[in-house]
Chain A
Amino acid sequence: MSGAHAAKVDDPAVLADLGTRWLAAWPLALAAWGPTTRLHAPVLHDRPCHEGSFAWFRVDEVEVHIDLPEVLRHGVEDHPVAVLAHELGHHLLAPGDPLGSVRIAARIKVGLGSRDNLVGLVSNLWSDMLINDRLQRQAGVDMAAITKALGEPPKDSPLGLLVMRTYEILWALPRGFLTGEAPAPEGEAMLCARHIRAYARDPVAGAAGFAVLVRSLLDAAALEQADQPGAPTAGDGDVLTVGCAGDRSGDGTLPPGAASDTSLGAPAVHPALDPRVVGDIEQRAPADEAPDGRSADSGGQDRALSPAELHAVLVAIGRPTSLESVAMAWYREHASPYLVPFPVREPPVVADELLGGLTPWELGDDLGDIDWAGTVTASPVLVPGVTTVRREMLEDESSRPAPRPVDLDLYLDSSGSMPDPQRTAAPIALAGAVLALSALRAGARVQATTWSGPGQLVGTDGFTGDAEEVLRAVVAHIGGSTAFPVDLLARTHLGWEGAAPTAPGPTHIAVISDEGVDTMFRRSTKDGSELDDTAARSLESAAGGSLVLRLWPQSLPTVQHLAGDYDVYVVSTDDDLVPFARDFSRRTWGRAHGG
């Protein structure tokens, strides 16, 4: 950069003028995306922001940012429309919104295999290429010029050369116009150009194939550059993108829709094997090494990502979050289709209170209940608590409120080889989530406890109406030995050492487990085990009890004998647990019983 240039960077007059010119270009940038495009004006910074580039888009705030000193440093001050329209592309095309960010990153991660630290860089690159191609070929914005202005890729960067050569092919530019003299990966660039054209309007669907294509071109240099997650490049002369720093988002919440999107876990297909990319020139004669008739939409291989995988995706794109909170959101989203409908609120019945007789108003009663006419009539001298009276209102039968929904005391087995709900989709946890969230929806309160060996519990430790607390307990994992928390059962329903039972009202006891449920009725001793009647006595105080068990058929008689009056429901596979939970919830908290 020349000395004259350097001087300009700090000159407030120059920056102000630049800002004015760029602001004036905003409507043109909007128009490039269509006559009805609207977005508030970009934020123009006249102090360096150290974001690693001169332009970026904040997905969460939906806002374009420009670092004017950096614009000058990179020599792109004469390309306002290109830069602004490009940033708009992150809002309108890819990633579009936080959900789009996560979905694209998830597919990129699948395509890259094991290089999580490159997910951010490659995701941004994919988005950038789609945007640039759309603007150049359909909106008539000169992206070629600004790409050229940002300089040639380093000769030893196969990825940079691929990107530039791909643009040359897409935009019919002379060879070398963007790549410089170094030879570029020719076949990969042809394929990349086809891939971009094929998936021009489908950023999520094309992301995995793009990652597979560039995977083998990623080298140590890219690795070093990608050390800061979510931060792609753009040092001087080091171009992997048009210099944009991509979408910057800091929020770690899992966007709704990401957890249940079954396209995210499908295997990635190399573009050369993707009919959508190369289908138009398939050989008429059979090829000598025909790939097994696979199609780009993998058909039966779709699957949603596990909480751990989604967590890795969020971390990879620089959205800090904990595995636990991702898991909680995951189970909430996956349970959602199975929950009971929200209770219908009956309109309040008006007026039909019947006047009853007068009864004494005592200190401590609600002041508003005092019937002054009655009080004064009873005694001319007012002595609060002695002569004050209140009118008893009798309820009209017809306006009696619906019965209170039964509360839920839920126990989830997390012993031995039970899967960790945060790592994979765990059926017991999901079934538990369906039960608990249905109960909460109906207005009930829930105590949720994940249990394993003696003293190993994670739970709400009491009844709550807070879904977050309940989910936190549901996604916990212990994986120790098997010992049902009988003492907690006693504390809840029978009282403990003088304290009253903690259950606030009629409560249903639900246990999801397997053969290990026998520890609910048997306590181990020095010499073996002895029967324990705590569970049976708790059932007497409770409003029903259900054991939902995955059992071998031969275990059933023993368990039923032990269970006594508990209802025993047997499921043969994990897949049966969730539908069972859904049906059970409907019966227990469904519309007829809701508030």
Chain B
Amino acid sequence: MSPPDPQAQPEPTRPDPMLLDPTLPDPALTEYAPMGAAVLTDQARWPTLDGAGLARVAALRAHPRAPVWVHATGDRLTADDQVGLEEAAARFSGPADDHDWVAALVARVHATVPRYRRAARDGTSGPSTPLADLPTTSREDLVRDVASFVPVDVDLTRVLEGSSSGSTGAALVVPLHPVTLAADLLLVQALLATEGVRWEPVDGRLGLVNVVDQRTAFTYASAMTAFRRVTGADAPLMARINLDASAWRDEADRDRFLSELDPQVVSTSTLPLLRLLELGLDLHPVAVVNGATDLPASVRSAVERRWGCPVLDVYGLTETGPVAASADGSGHVVVGRRVWVEILDAAGRPVPDGTRGEIVVTVDENPYLPLLRYRTGDHASLVRDARGTVLVGLEGRAPVVFVAADGTEHSSIDATQLLQAYGLAVFHLHQDVDGAVHLETVALSGDSQGAADAIARWLTRPVALTTHQQVSGMGTGKPRRFSSDRTSSDAQR
């Protein structure tokens, strides 16, 4: 080309990543565009709610101090689902199940689930193969080909898209069923009842609030039509809210919304829970439910001191549903769902009770995703006592805190969202004692540079990027996603 025109600017290259507006959601997180994923009518969201019920939800949405709702979603339950819900409630409240269902599950999957039909065709396993002789299923198996784990004979019209960010690797799309999700609520009710907690709908109070604390997150208002209650009583309402200031129209709204609606059950994970405690609000929950991250004893006591209520720590993955729960911090008791737990060593062999190993779960609750010997990546030892089957010393996912340039703290969950939105399958984000941030990725897939720039915007500090050509470059053993050299009390409260 001829000499550049003095009037013209140089050819445009990548825009400076730091110039993108940091208050807006990262350009890769398109699904969080407000109401971007909300398409149904309210009637379709809550098929069993009558006009009065829908009006109550609408009133909650329109609450003067409500957050900027990013999403709208209901429970999608129909009148026909009642039967399944009642059956589930009976199972959860009844005595601990035997495991006859496991053999029936093995037989069934060999006829209906592609992955096991293939095994039958190839002769590697069959309907009467004992569970312990079947190969384990890994998260990578689901990521690679989740369709091969979905039975060929279930009606797909009710399928919902769930996602699991997991402890390593790429995001996993999980097909979910409305009844399975609603059954989680019934499980919580049953577990709290066992602990002697009274949870009955009260006019003017939210039945449950689901609390997160992230830069971007789905928030919505809903009615819990599956809630077991006296006939004729209104379904209690729930909301999912985000403590982050950007989610509210006015600074004061958040605190007032929570105080006024005084939710009966607070369902959350460790870091948002701590933040909530710090806010010092006048709340009177009957219980706290903790999920997704490990619950340190100190946090449990802090809740008991502040609110005088028990904390139910529920262990489970999106793909398995709840597996075990702890009401007192001394071991997680396997819950009364159709879930069977094995503890296996690194070579996949069962270990004796009391020995530590990987938690491997067989579960038959989600009609779209029966799982056999699914490796969770979490570790514990297993004992059997009067309470039932108990997981001791559960080590799952501890959230890691990253510190931005201005000293504010951010949860690794935000980082997971970002990194997976840029398509990264394997990554490790680390922060040094002095605050310097390092991102390691593998060039298998995704936009490593884009992801590094997004993290740089998120923490408002530069990110040093290393991209390996091969997975082995990340070191041996299970790759950790997040780590911080800051003292453990700072990083993992």
* A residues at B contact (CB < 8 Å): 114-115, 117, 183-188, 215-216, 218-220, 223-224, 227, 289, 455-462, 469, 472, 476, 478-480, 485, 487-488
A187-B118, A458-B11, A478-B12 are known contacts. Are A227 and B469 too (CB-CB below 8 A)? Answer: yes
State whether B1 touches A472 (Cβ < 8 A). Answer: yes
> Which residues on A sit within 8 Å (CB–CB) of B445?
114-115, 117
A117-B444, A461-B1, A478-B12 are known contacts. Are A183 and B122 too (CB-CB below 8 A)? Answer: yes
Any A CB within 8 A of the CB of B476: no
CA distance A476 to B11 in the complex (A): 9
Among B8, B121, B445, find the residue whose CB has the most chain A CB atoms closer than 10 A: B8
Any A CB within 8 A of the CB of B148: yes
Any A CB within 8 A of the CB of B41: no
Min C-beta distance of B113 to chain A, whole Å: 14
> Which residues on B sit within 8 Å (CB–CB) of A219?
140, 144
State whether B5 touches A186 (Cβ < 8 A). Answer: no
CA distance A456 to B148 in the complex (A): 51
A223-B444, A457-B8, A461-B2 are known contacts. Are A186 and B145 too (CB-CB below 8 A)? Answer: no
Min C-beta distance of A463 to chain B, whole Å: 9
Min C-beta distance of A521 to chain B, whole Å: 19
State whether A185 touches B2 (Cβ < 8 A). Answer: no
State whether A223 touches B12 (Cβ < 8 A). Answer: no
State whether B12 touches A480 (Cβ < 8 A). Answer: yes
Q: Which of B1-54 contact A (CB under 8 A)?
A: 1-5, 7-9, 11-12
> Which residues on A sit within 8 Å (CB–CB) of B444?
117, 223
Q: Which of B247-271 contact A (CB under 8 A)?
A: none
22 of the cross-chain contacts (CB-CB < 8 Å) are: A117-B444, A183-B123, A184-B122, A185-B122, A218-B144, A219-B140, A223-B444, A224-B470, A224-B471, A227-B470, A289-B152, A455-B7, A455-B8, A456-B8, A457-B7, A457-B8, A460-B1, A460-B2, A461-B3, A461-B8, A476-B11, A479-B12
Min C-beta distance of B425 to chain A, whole Å: 10
Min C-beta distance of B120 to chain A, whole Å: 10
When C-beta atoms are compared, the residue in chain B nearest to A189 turns out to be B122
> Which residues on B sit within 8 Å (CB–CB) of A479?
12
CA distance A458 to B10 in the complex (A): 9
Q: Which of B469-488 contact A (CB under 8 A)?
A: 469-472
A185-B118, A461-B5 are known contacts. Are A220 and B140 too (CB-CB below 8 A)? Answer: yes
Neighbour of B122 across the interface among A114, A187, A485, A488, CB < 8 A? A187
CA distance A188 to B121 in the complex (A): 10
CA distance A460 to B8 in the complex (A): 12
Min C-beta distance of A86 to chain B, whole Å: 29
When C-beta atoms are compared, the residue in chain B nearest to A414 turns out to be B12
When C-beta atoms are compared, the residue in chain B nearest to A447 turns out to be B2
CA distance A218 to B444 in the complex (A): 14
Among B122, B145, B472, find the residue whose CB has the most chain A CB atoms closer than 10 A: B122
> Which residues on B sit within 8 Å (CB–CB) of A184?
122
The main secondary structure of chain A at its interface with chain B is loop
Min C-beta distance of A189 to chain B, whole Å: 9
When C-beta atoms are compared, the residue in chain B nearest to A502 turns out to be B2
Min C-beta distance of B83 to chain A, whole Å: 26
> Which residues on A sit within 8 Å (CB–CB) of B152?
289
CA distance A458 to B8 in the complex (A): 8
CA distance A187 to B472 in the complex (A): 33
Additional 9 contacts, C-beta under 8 A, given A219-B140, A457-B8, A461-B4: A183-B122, A216-B148, A220-B471, A223-B444, A224-B471, A224-B472, A455-B7, A455-B9, A478-B12
Any A CB within 8 A of the CB of B124: yes
**A-contact bits for B96-135, CB 8 A (1 contact / 0 none):** 0000000000000000000000100111100000000000
Min C-beta distance of A274 to chain B, whole Å: 18
> Which residues on B sit within 8 Å (CB–CB) of A458?
8, 11
A216-B145, A216-B148 are known contacts. Are A456 and B9 too (CB-CB below 8 A)? Answer: yes
Min C-beta distance of B61 to chain A, whole Å: 33
Min C-beta distance of B167 to chain A, whole Å: 17
Min C-beta distance of B383 to chain A, whole Å: 34
CA distance A455 to B140 in the complex (A): 50
CA distance A183 to B119 in the complex (A): 10
CA distance A187 to B115 in the complex (A): 12
State whether A186 touches B122 (Cβ < 8 A). Answer: yes
**A-contact bits for B321-360, CB 8 A (1 contact / 0 none):** 0000000000000000000000000000000000000000
CA distance A224 to B443 in the complex (A): 11
> Which residues on B sit within 8 Å (CB–CB) of A480?
12
Min C-beta distance of B24 to chain A, whole Å: 18
When C-beta atoms are compared, the residue in chain A nearest to B423 turns out to be A114
State whether B5 touches A216 (Cβ < 8 A). Answer: no
Min C-beta distance of B27 to chain A, whole Å: 14
> Which residues on B sit within 8 Å (CB–CB) of A115?
445
**A-contact bits for B452-484, CB 8 A (1 contact / 0 none):** 000000000000000001111000000000000
Min C-beta distance of A121 to chain B, whole Å: 14
When C-beta atoms are compared, the residue in chain B nearest to A455 turns out to be B9
CA distance A129 to B3 in the complex (A): 53
CA distance A114 to B423 in the complex (A): 11
CA distance A565 to B275 in the complex (A): 68
> Which residues on B sit within 8 Å (CB–CB) of A478?
12
CA distance A479 to B112 in the complex (A): 51
Min C-beta distance of A332 to chain B, whole Å: 18
CA distance A188 to B469 in the complex (A): 31
CA distance A456 to B118 in the complex (A): 58
State whether B1 touches A469 (Cβ < 8 A). Answer: yes
CA distance A478 to B12 in the complex (A): 7
> Which residues on B sit within 8 Å (CB–CB) of A289?
152
Min C-beta distance of B232 to chain A, whole Å: 44
CA distance A457 to B9 in the complex (A): 7
State whether A223 touches B471 (Cβ < 8 A). Answer: yes
